[in-house]
Structure 1
């Protein structure tokens, strides 16, 4: 028998790293709950958790089996699902309360689902719940370059504002909200959650707490005197109607006004005034474009919009051909050269 050789006194046998035994009969809903509990412990927000549940629910509906085991999902399964999303599934197909469309699901939406599944399966693999990570070699779906969410032109903005009846509380509130979004570039969730004590009417700033900011960083945003005056009036009326503890934006029944309610109202308004697309984020893009056109710098804009990366801010500044012509006409270098040299045309 071969003898064991010890070269150094006090040497200890290296501990074997034992991987946990994989339970191949772990249902996908049980694996999801383990993942969600871990993410909640990390402090992810409820909206993110809801996204996890929705993404897995959509996948399970496509799989169609009564019981789905997490270890039965392979890379081929995921690729088949992605191809289904790309070529067959229509937007809102899983939501019976929303109108279906003949258009295919956007690449951005598909990639959001891919990122969610990638995060979940990586966690499950690292925890020893699955034997292999089916998302390891799955990449994002590529798409042709296309315009980001477009902003509104001046004529469209004027039509929107002119459509509101200031004698009606709900319409006057909506008009005030539109002006706020155009003045600050706030996300709709940040805007409708405002309370009067978040607005400094003397310094003309509003405060967005980290609890509702997407990047979890609080920030102060300047507002124009005109919009501040309108917000002050809205706050006075809301507190008069519904009490001093009311938020700034309330519905006509004294309940909290929601972003979904505002989207539905914009959807009805676009048909009334014949605008092809109209949703809250378009006001944010309109603010970003107009801020730059009016002489603002992109780094200050990044802070106002609460973007972690400058590349995101650049995507928000969508210039159409007319804007490009206007800017060139205003800043053309050759004009100064011609004027400086006295060149006659």
Structure 2
């Protein structure tokens, strides 16, 4: 069926300093700016083989800290050794009470409420903790400013929720298969709901990763978050949709390896998918809709349908099963349905 197309700057010299542990307890003679200290850290992590996206996150998190320091403690920007636990705690309070979600973020609507979520704050603190430990170990600072700073506590951490059956139906009913972009989005959603792939893994999948005989998709170690290759079964119906989409991609754009392309023949990206879902959220008047929700929906429904958590851990590529447990958020309706189905009292009531 034919479908319609709607159309840094690095320091001039790296000045790493090697000192003994005893020397590092004394004041530092050489001053490092925040930017210089960041670049030394980044160079070390690149040498360790960290992924570009992780490096990008490090830079982004420090940009938030730099923004705070420029107003409150500009001396730290010029001398990283001036960073103290007291300054970091002031930064935490700023994030908790004053910073508004998505403020300054391009193409994102600023949320009216003040203060970031506990999860977001702790994510930024983990980055800073890693950096402060590195700077101290390398002799860039005379102290580890994060050593005594604790993560922010929360009474109940809100996990990313999955989509309800009603919401999924509403989303699919709103998609027009006659338009290439919406048909592509539909296939992508089906693939994520069927496999639990991460958004980045799903949008970048190549046709060579699919085995349409055994009905599986291979996630190579080069793109897997935990650097472990894994093979995930797919439903025959989803495999058929993937092949149908790829045949259309070939007709329009030649012989690309990637399955999911935009209307201009360029690789579709997770960020583009997020933006499209955000527009759909507004159009359908949904409270929340973003790519990761499809992965969470797969995880929750996998367990509700009788799957075991150890297999789910392998499919989702979680190094620690605690992550898998946190990943699955059951609604009260889910809990009630499972209780009605599995309560041991049932066998006694039948007597």
* TM-score, structure 1 normalization: 0.91
Could you tell me whether the CA contact under 8 Å between 1:24 and 1:71 is conserved in 2?
no
Which deviates the most, 124-133 or 94-103?
94-103
Of 39, 53, 64, 1:47 maps to 53
Of 71, 81, 96, 2:81 maps to 71
Could you tell me whether the CA contact under 8 Å between 2:208 and 2:257 is conserved in 1?
no
Q: For residues 125 and 170 of structure 1, what CA distance do their matches in structure 2 show? A: 50
Larger radius of gyration: 1
Residue 195 of structure 2 corresponds to which residue in structure 1?
A: 184
After superposition, where does 1:132-211 map in structure 2 within 5 Å? Answer: 132-211=143-222
Deviation at 1:95, TM superposition (A): 2.2
1:56 matches 2:66: no
Residue 31 of structure 2 corresponds to which residue in structure 1?
A: 25
Deviation at 1:96, TM superposition (A): 4.7
* 1:251-299 alpha-carbon deviations (Å, 9 max, x no partner): 0110111111111111111122221100111111111111111111111
Deviation at 1:168, TM superposition (A): 0.6
* 1:79-117 alpha-carbon deviations (Å, 9 max, x no partner): 111111111111122325422112221111111111111
Q: 1:110 to 1:17 in 2, by over 3 A?
A: closer
Question: Where in structure 1 are there 5+ consecutive unaligned residues?
Answer: 1-15
Residue 231 of structure 1 corresponds to which residue in structure 2?
A: 242
Residue 293 of structure 2 corresponds to which residue in structure 1?
A: 282
What RMSD, in angstroms, separates the aligned Cα atoms of the two structures? Answer: 1.6
Question: Where in structure 2 are there 5+ consecutive unaligned residues?
Answer: 1-19
Q: 1:173 to 1:62 in 2, by over 3 A?
A: same
Could you tell me whether the CA contact under 8 Å between 1:195 and 1:246 is conserved in 2?
yes
Deviation at 1:316, TM superposition (A): 2.0
After superposition, where does 1:238-249 map in structure 2 within 5 Å? Answer: 238-249=249-260
Could you tell me whether the CA contact under 8 Å between 1:24 and 1:70 is conserved in 2?
no
Q: For residues 21 and 261 of structure 2, what CA distance do their matches in structure 1 show? A: 58
Deviation at 1:18, TM superposition (A): 6.6
Could you tell me whether the CA contact under 8 Å between 1:193 and 1:249 is conserved in 2?
yes
Of 108, 127, 148, 2:119 maps to 108
Residue 8 of structure 1 corresponds to which residue in structure 2?
A: none
Deviation at 1:338, TM superposition (A): 2.5
Could you tell me whether the CA contact under 8 Å between 1:58 and 1:94 is conserved in 2?
no
Number of equivalent positions? 325
* 1:53-97 alpha-carbon deviations (Å, 9 max, x no partner): 112221111111385211111111111111111111111223254
Higher relative contact order (CA 8 A, sep 6+): 2
* 1:228-262 alpha-carbon deviations (Å, 9 max, x no partner): 00001111111121121241000011011111111
Of 61, 80, 91, 2:90 maps to 80
Q: For residues 207 and 133 of structure 1, what CA distance do their matches in structure 2 show? A: 42
Q: For residues 256 and 144 of structure 1, what CA distance do their matches in structure 2 show? A: 42
**Structure 2 residue matching 1:101: 3-state secondary structure:** coil
Residue 11 of structure 1 corresponds to which residue in structure 2?
A: none
Could you tell me whether the CA contact under 8 Å between 1:23 and 1:129 is conserved in 2?
no
Deviation at 1:151, TM superposition (A): 0.8
Aligned structure 1 segments of 4 or more residues deviating by more than 6 angstroms:
none
Residue 337 of structure 1 corresponds to which residue in structure 2?
A: 348
**Structure 1 residue matching 2:158: 3-state secondary structure:** coil
* 1:176-228 alpha-carbon deviations (Å, 9 max, x no partner): 01111110111000000101000001100000011111111110000000000
Residue 130 of structure 2 corresponds to which residue in structure 1?
A: 119
Could you tell me whether the CA contact under 8 Å between 2:184 and 2:260 is conserved in 1?
yes
